[in-house]
Amino acid sequence: MTESLEISNLSLLLSTLLLVMAILIDYKEKLGLGNDILVAGVRAVIQLFIIGYVLSFVFQIDNTLVTLIMVLFIVFNASFNAHKRSEGIDQSFTISITSIGVGTALALGILVFSGAIDWTPSQIVPITGMIASNAMTTIGVVYRTLHTQFRDRRQQVLEKLALGADKKQASMTIVRESIKTGMAPSIDRTKTVGLVSLPGMMSGLMFAGVDPTEAIRYQIVVMFMLIAVTAISSFIASYMTYRSFYNDSIQLTI
């Protein structure tokens, strides 16, 4: 069984044909994403090799402080990448790190306090990665939705302001829409888990020899955790961001 899982250098090299296919589609359709795809592929390879060795070291020393540093490192990187997708929103890094940080802290706190996981790097670091990556994607969606909604509903917002509404009242419909849009992917994933997508964590645990019932329990915890985190992150990000679309005179800046 071990031999069947080994990937030779040739197999790894041939797998790059998949990346080439994506680049060819980009070239044919003139999407302008060729460089991004190539850079993403190269970065993924380099980053995975680096983080693989780093995680091996972190797992071996099993130190509480080092584990906390890894958690903060993951949250910081997720926040920075979400900030880059903000399309110029003021204080977007502060908004991103607050949203992801609060969501991550609450989720990890509940999981550790309930005994679902222990504060060990082999459990905390992968879970933090799942939390932060989902929150990062959610916040990116929230930023795009807010931009689109404020642009498309500009006249509607202006009419509300003209009738005496404050920033919050004029923006509530847009804020709710951004939260709903940010949460939608996690809700859809949860609805179709086991029917469309096969959960990686559950499959991995079962493959490692864990009892199927225990693997299912862990996957349920993870799915519920991700819904909660996307809800918290999209809520915080939406309410912190909508104000940046107004100036001090309560006028739209978009």
Q: Structure pTM? A: 0.81
pLDDT of residue 118: 86
Q: What is the mean pLDDT of residues 238-249?
A: 89
Question: What single-letter DSSP state applies at residue 198?
Answer: P
Tell me the backbone φ, ψ of residue 197, rounded to 5 degrees: -100, 140
The residue ranges of every structural domain in the chain are: 1-61, 64-245
pLDDT at 197 over 80: no
When pLDDT is cut at 50, 70 and 90, the band that residue 188 belongs to is confident
> What whole-number distance in Å separates Cα of residue 62 and Cα of residue 44?
26
Mean pLDDT of all residues in the chain? 86
Smallest Cα–Cα separation from 241: which of 72, 75, 76, 98?
98
Q: Which of 25-29, 35-39, 242-246, 248-252 has the lowest mean pLDDT?
A: 248-252
Burial of 95 per CB tally in 10 Å (0-12, 13-18, 19+): buried
pLDDT in tens, 72-127: 999 999 999 999 888 788 889 999 999 999 999 999 999 888 888 888 888 888 88
pLDDT of residue 2: 44
Higher pLDDT: 199 or 147? It is 147
3-state secondary structure of 211: coil
> What whole-number distance in Å separates Cα of residue 138 and Cα of residue 173?
18
pLDDT in tens, 33-53: 888 888 988 998 898 889 888
- Let me know how long the chain is: 254
Please, where are the H alpha helices in the chain? 9-14, 16-29, 34-61, 64-84, 92-114, 121-152, 154-162, 167-192, 200-207, 212-241
pLDDT of residue 1: 41
Query: Which residues have a Cβ under 8 Å from the Cβ of 25 and sit 6 or more positions away?
Result: 31
3-state secondary structure of 115: coil
